[in-house]
Amino acid sequence: MKIAVVGTGYVGLVTGVSLSEIGHTVMCVDVDESKVARMQAGVSPIYEPGLSEMMESNIEAGRLSFTTEHRDAFVDADAIYIAVGTPQKEDGTADLRFIESVAGNIAEHLTGYAVVVTKSTVPVGTNDYIQSYIAKYTDVSFDVVSNPEFLREGSAVYDTFNGDRVVIGSDRAEAASVVEKINRPFGLPVFKTDIRSAEMIKYASNAFLATKISFVNEVATLCEKLGANVEDVAKGMGQDKRIGKKFLNAGIGYGGSCFPKDTSALVQISGEAGHDFTLLKAVMEVNERQQRLLVEKAKERFGSLRGMTIAILGLSFKANTDDMREAASVVLAEELVLAGAHVVAYDPIAIENAKQVLPEAVDYAGSTEAALDGADATFVVTDWDEIKELDTGTFKERLTKPVVFDGRNCFDLDDMREAGVEYYSVGRPGIG
Ligand code: NAD
């Protein structure tokens, strides 16, 4: 089929490339000219394992192209995917500015029937709004289908081909069938429902996962106070199939472009619907506290941090991505600078993006070793493989005092003890 994808961020680009990989002819459109120029030259503007190779081969095969002109992308399109951002506004609600602008683009340039497929995460009722917004400005017929995205950054391509389900929300069976047909080559289970339920599935899923993370982080805090080890506790809990093993890793909380904004949006949606979602508010509160945890632990250990040099290892909000949106490293670096510490930061991929959001006072190193050299202590913030696989002796050799605050429980307690490292992690006994 011929497909237009509007927005080439983490979701749009991965979706466009993957749809071309399964045989569709895809034209991606973005308003960011420099991004489009890079993509036209075969360069991916984001870091996502496996994406560049797949992008190159589909451009070469003539199935994938990029433009800044909506009109070009929409000509004869069977489906138009909306994959623009829905960021958080100051008041916590979802900002639908980009969605409205795409709806305007569609109304202006639609020349024949197409199914409008909403991939962006949008509040319940937004697809109805998109439908009426477009219909106000065009006589051309179209249908709107909600098709929320569940990919995880860092494994987005893998997830697109191996997802647990494809949710298709539509009040028109024919339109739902078109989206089902588009997705058939992925071979994934399809769950069809009405539009509002599909919109809700996305928010409820993210809110539930965030709840799991904050829950285990609360358990971790208790474990520290009571002398238990959260890793064993989570393992023991996870063996119960009703609980499941996944998303039970204690740490410095969730970040990224989805969980923080989607939990916040759901609290607002709930409020507007006359319901106080107290559980989710607590989940968010726990997460905010958790993101500052390493600074709190360092202050407890050292008293004042003024004049100290602290190395931050890992900056992106999670491993295998260059995305810095809502990364704990931002909160930590700001707190450290505020406390008078000198920060030296390292990340294998995200340094250029980090420079846009970390305080100016932060210095950057070209390797973990260079970041640790001469620092007084280190914060482990992102569990990149190369950080997890660091020889524990490195901390002793490079730091002036081998004190490690680990926000991702990357290292074995016995290894750190043997290496003579003072080690504080999350929900596990400290090694003083
Ligand atoms: P992003 O901010 O990375 O990318 C959005 C892109 O849309 C940008 O390149 C921007 O230039 C472009 N854009 C904005 N207005 C446009 C217009 N009128 N025409 C063409 N292009 C336009 O966003 P993202 O992280 O890919 O997220 C997109 C949506 O998917 C959001 O609603 C998000 O909540 C949802 N989502 C994201 C993830 C994730 O892991 N990032 C996962 C699931 C769902």
**Contact predicate 413/387, CB 8 Å:** no
> How remote is the CA of residue 292 from the centroid of ligand 1, in Å?
28
CATH architecture for the domain at 202-288: Orthogonal Bundle (1.10)
Judge whether 178 and 24 are in contact, CB under 8 Å. no
Name the binding residues for NAD(+).
Answer: 30, 35, 86, 121, 153, 261, 325
Q: Atom 12 of ligand 1 has which residue's CA nearest to it? A: 7
Domains 202-288 and 292-424 share a fold: no
pLDDT of residue 363: 98
Q: Which residue's CA is the closest to the ligand 1 atom numbered 41? A: 10
**Residue ranges of the domains in the chain?**
2-193, 202-288, 292-424
Single-letter amino acid, residue 207: A
Confidence at residue 301, expressed as pLDDT on a 0 to 100 scale:
97
* pLDDT value of position 249: 97
Question: Domain 292-424 carries which CATH code?
Answer: 3.40.50.720
Count of other CB atoms within 10 angstroms of residue 112 = 12
pLDDT at 195: 98
pLDDT of residue 426: 98
Q: Cα(186) to centroid of ligand 1, in Å?
A: 22
Residues of the chain with confidence (pLDDT) below 70: none
Does the active-site annotation cover 223? no
Which residues form the pocket of ligand 1, taking CB atoms under 6 Å from any ligand atom? Answer: 6-12, 29-32, 35, 83-86, 98, 101-102, 105, 119-121, 149, 151, 153, 257-258
Query: What is the helix, strand, coil percentage profile of the chain, to 5?
Result: 45, 15, 40
Backbone angles phi, psi at 220, to 5 degrees: -60, -45
Atom number of ligand 1 nearest to Cα 7: 7
pLDDT computed for residue 113 by the predictor: 98
Question: pTM of the prediction?
Answer: 0.95
pLDDT attached to residue 274: 98
Instruction: State residue 41's pLDDT score.
Output: 96
CATH superfamily of 2-193: NAD(P)-binding Rossmann-like Domain (3.40.50.720)
ipTM over 0.90: yes
pLDDT of residue 389: 97
**CA-to-CA distance for 336 and 294, rounded, in angstroms?**
10
For 107-154, write each residue's pLDDT tens digit.
999 999 999 999 999 999 999 999 999 999 999 999 999 999 999 999
